[in-house]
Structure 1
Amino acid sequence: MSGNQSYADWIAVDWGTTHLRAWAMVGAEAKAEVSSADGMGKLPRDGFEPALLRLVEPWLGAGRMRVVACGMVGARQGWVEAPYVAVPARPTDLSPIVAPSADPRLHVSVVPGLSQAKPADVMRGEETQIAGFLAQNPKFDGVLVLPGTHSKWVRISAEEVVSFQTAMTGELFQLLAEESVLRHSVSASGQNDDAFVQAVSDTISQPEKVSQWLFGLRAQNVLDGQDGTTARAKLSGYLIGSELAAARPYWLGQAVAIAGTPTLTRLYADALKTQGVTPDVHDAAPLTRAGLARVYATLTENA
């Protein structure tokens, strides 16, 4: 590559709290991918541009490179604050905010997140996943579930996010499994499908008993020798069951799609099937990149 020629047409960036990922893009196709642990949570305001350059400088030429970024890079503590856009909103039509950069080779645009007034809720980063999902499924009308640390249930109609709700299921699971008294009884891996499904069904029937059942995982281990894999499956089932109970208005009578990692989509699909719902399952890995490509296409069309 000569010093005047860039490696890519543009660069896509997913910048979370703990990690930074970037793709060298040619049109909508990724030519290369790099990542680092330079998440928003460890960077000062003036640390974002150097962190990005450490990753992508080999892709730059002498000209100005357009970078389209999403995630916590647009938070109040990020590179530049990209204010939330209130729903209802079309995630494919969000207008990015330009981040200040000292390097003349960079032109960085940051995608804003979405907000909801009542009940109060916010998302940042997931809106780009939704844009990617809609780019591939433009006729979808129903509910998209994005399981993760903070799971999102998103009602979509006419390519518009109508409403959404968030559950801290993934974070609660990690805290309980690794930091609470249950850490002595829950294994670090493994799955018992029957125990998981039963825990989901029990919780949806009697969600008020979840706190009691959670401590029961410790007691069953101490008194009955319940194995850690079964305890892990039950813990997951209790928490996802609670999430489904709270999200009943979202999945009841609706077309449902799930986009996430294969492990999580399988759990959520199995949980929904206990309630007679058979969701469409999608791998979330390419969705953020597809959403950023949609934003890039809009920016270049309007340039």
Structure 2
Amino acid sequence: MKSYLLGCDWGTSSFRLRLINSSDVQLIGEITSQEGVANTFTRWKANSETKGISREQFFRVQLQRQINLLAKQLAINLDDIPVVISGMASSSIGMDEVPYATLPFPIDGSRASIKRLDTQPDFAHDIILISGVRTEHDVMRGEETQLIGLLALLDNLHLNTEESILLFPGTHSKHIYIQNQQVIDFQTFMTGEVFNLMSHYSILKDSVESTGLAVFDESELKAFKSGINQLTNSSILNSLFRVRTNQLFSQLTKRQNALYLSGLLIGNELKSLLQQPDSQLILCSGNNLYELYKQAMIELNLIGRTITISADLIDKATIAGQVKIAKNQLLSLSK
């Protein structure tokens, strides 16, 4: 008999629901949408003023609609299957706010901060909301579940992750420090968001062509490396304006200039790792950013102590983390 779990990754601007066989952490089916937490919260505020519906109940209605779509797609009755939700659903604009866990944070998920929500007559699923982790000056929400799952998968592959720094590139990149089976620190870098702001909403927007940068030619790679190395000669704020003059003086094409801008920002993010020469690095990137980060680490001579994780494994990490946390909480996963 299969043991089923519904795993929901509910981000700020995206929604992903999966049916998982928890016994072997295999994906059975999934649906995705752009109905993220921020949009759902905005619609709840508009509705609550006229209909008096609670925030939790409004989120349940939206979640049930997605469960129904997945059930129809798979032709399976999904009633009574527990739902584990990670991401922004446990935030102040989510289904219900759940306090952050604190450091040190065991990587087995045993101290994950969670909240149980029981079934209701019109919602036949127990819910477990997973909150994030905080330090005095930083937070992560969603990455902790991905981290728990990824390290469990790497342990199964007998990869040593002791004394490591895990790098999760993205809109808000995370550098997560692991020692003695615990997260002892982490840092957030606004690399992706600053790139988006600079390339779409600043004076630099007409100097770059920023689509499809996952694939690049030799001239564009040269521009990317130039951006990385520019930081040895000037500050990031001064170097950013050079994106403007590169285009103004026809020194780079707009696409080359976008790679130069990317090199500035990724290089600025990674250069702090040069001060920690004894730490093993683990690059945990999806396909869209993998090659850029790999090339940056080569240019900065970091690649020799870096383990790179396949995008397929990264994609599986969230569901592995959700399953592990669910089992820690002694949920009944049988159907």
TM-score (norm 2): 0.81
The secondary structure found in structure 2 opposite 1:300 is coil
Aligned to 1:293: 323
Aligned to 1:3: none
Is 2:15 the counterpart of 1:17?
no
The secondary structure found in structure 2 opposite 1:181 is coil
Deviates more, 1:77-86 or 1:54-63: 54-63
Aligned to 1:133: 150
Structure-1 separation of matches of 2:241 and 2:221 = 20
Q: Which of 173, 178, 189 is residue 167 of structure 1 equivalent to? A: 189
Q: Which of 8, 11, 31 is residue 34 of structure 1 equivalent to? A: 31
* Count of residue correspondences: 292
Is 2:81 the counterpart of 1:97?
no
Q: Any idea what the Cα deviations from partners look like across 1:238-279, whole Å, max 9, x if unmatched?
A: 111111234544x53211011121231221122122222122
Structure-1 separation of matches of 2:332 and 2:78 = 24
> What's the CA shift for 1:63?
5.1
5 Å-filtered alignment, 1:144-163, equals 144-163=166-185
Is 2:247 the counterpart of 1:221?
yes
Deviates more, 1:91-100 or 1:72-81: 91-100
Matched to 1:202, the amino acid is: Q
Structure-2 separation of matches of 1:109 and 1:296 = 8
CA gap 1:235/1:101 in 2 versus in 1, 3 angstroms: farther
> What's the CA shift for 1:72?
0.2
The secondary structure found in structure 2 opposite 1:286 is helix
Structure-2 separation of matches of 1:302 and 1:154 = 31
Structure-2 separation of matches of 1:167 and 1:32 = 33
> What's the CA shift for 1:289?
1.4
8 Å contact from structure 2 (residues 10, 88) kept in 1: yes
8 Å contact from structure 1 (residues 80, 99) kept in 2: no
> What's the CA shift for 1:61?
4.0
Q: Which has the higher contact order (CA 8 A, sep 6+)?
A: 2
Structure-2 separation of matches of 1:302 and 1:63 = 13
> What's the CA shift for 1:104?
4.2
For structure 1, which runs of at least 5 residues remain unmatched after alignment? 1-6
> What's the CA shift for 1:8?
7.1
8 Å contact from structure 1 (residues 49, 101) kept in 2: no
> What's the CA shift for 1:15?
0.5
> What's the CA shift for 1:79?
0.5
Is 2:262 the counterpart of 1:232?
no
> What's the CA shift for 1:176?
0.3
Structure-2 separation of matches of 1:104 and 1:290 = 25
CA gap 1:276/1:106 in 2 versus in 1, 3 angstroms: same
> What's the CA shift for 1:299?
2.7
Is 2:56 the counterpart of 1:56?
no
The secondary structure found in structure 2 opposite 1:65 is coil
Q: Which of 52, 74, 88 is residue 72 of structure 1 equivalent to? A: 88
State percent identity of aligned pairs.
27
Deviates more, 1:48-57 or 1:165-174: 48-57
The secondary structure found in structure 2 opposite 1:137 is helix
RMSD (CA atoms): 2.2
Structure-2 separation of matches of 1:63 and 1:150 = 36
Deviates more, 1:72-81 or 1:263-272: 263-272
> What's the CA shift for 1:219?
1.6
For structure 2, which runs of at least 5 residues remain unmatched after alignment? 45-54
TM-score (norm 1): 0.89
CA gap 1:185/1:29 in 2 versus in 1, 3 angstroms: same
Structure-1 separation of matches of 2:19 and 2:331 = 20
8 Å contact from structure 2 (residues 266, 293) kept in 1: yes
